[in-house]
Amino acid sequence: MFKTPVFIDFEASSLAEDSWPIEVGLAWLDGRKIITHSSLIRPRPDWSPNAWHEDSAKIHKIPLVDLNDAPVTEEVAGWLYKLIAGRPIISDAPSFDERWLRMLAGEQSWCKIHSLDEALTWAFSSQGKIEPGKLGLAYRIMASQDTLHRAGPDAAAHAQLWRKLM
């Protein structure tokens, strides 16, 4: 199920209910090499400007003005589709990332985002039994990783975790 996963991460205008995606990052393994791609996202005119929070901007360090020259949502959605179609998608925050993916790509559901927990449980299960030592190691590694709050590097950190554990 998760043999060739793509790890996805979004940065957003805020964590509010009406927040919108501002950056998407993807990472996957090509052998032992981590391939990483990311793109800023120009906000759609119908997205609420009130959903932009300066506190979030301080965390991800992406000023709103930088999004003026970013690719439009349709362009980013098409690019994403070409890179991830048919592959299992994994996120550490699937409820947020699925919402932002739907905002970016429209309501068409061309992929489901699985949780990192689900993927790790699948990877470390044998005949229905979880190997707790490996799962514990995964969580210790995750706890020791810095979160950079940029979509590409954060997705790459999950691919790096996967590479260490497989």
- The predicted-structure confidence for 68-106, as pLDDT tens digits, reads as follows 999 999 999 999 999 998 899 999 999 999 999 999 988
- The predicted-structure confidence for 8-25, as pLDDT tens digits, reads as follows 999 999 999 999 999 999
Cα 134 to its chain centre, rounded Å, is 23
Residue 156: Cβ within 10 Å count? 23
- The predicted-structure confidence for 111-120, as pLDDT tens digits, reads as follows 789 999 898 8
Amino acid at 44: R
Which residue intervals of 16-166 are DSSP H helices?
Answer: 54-60, 73-84, 94-105, 116-123, 132-144, 151-165
**What are the residues whose beta carbons fall under 8 Å from the beta carbon of 30, sequence distance 6 or more?**
none
Residue 78: Cβ within 10 Å count? 12
Domains of the chain from N-terminus onward = 6-165 (3.30.420.10)
| Helix (H), strand (E) counts: the chain | 6, 7
**What pLDDT, on a 0 to 100 scale, did the predictor assign at position 128?**
62
Tell me phi and psi for residue 102, to 5 degrees.
Answer: -65, -40
**What pLDDT, on a 0 to 100 scale, did the predictor assign at position 9?**
97
Considering only CA atoms, which of 62, 66, 64, 73 is closest in space to residue 148?
62
Separation in Å, CA 98 to CA 55, 72, 93, 102, 164: 22, 19, 9, 6, 26
**What pLDDT, on a 0 to 100 scale, did the predictor assign at position 157?**
94
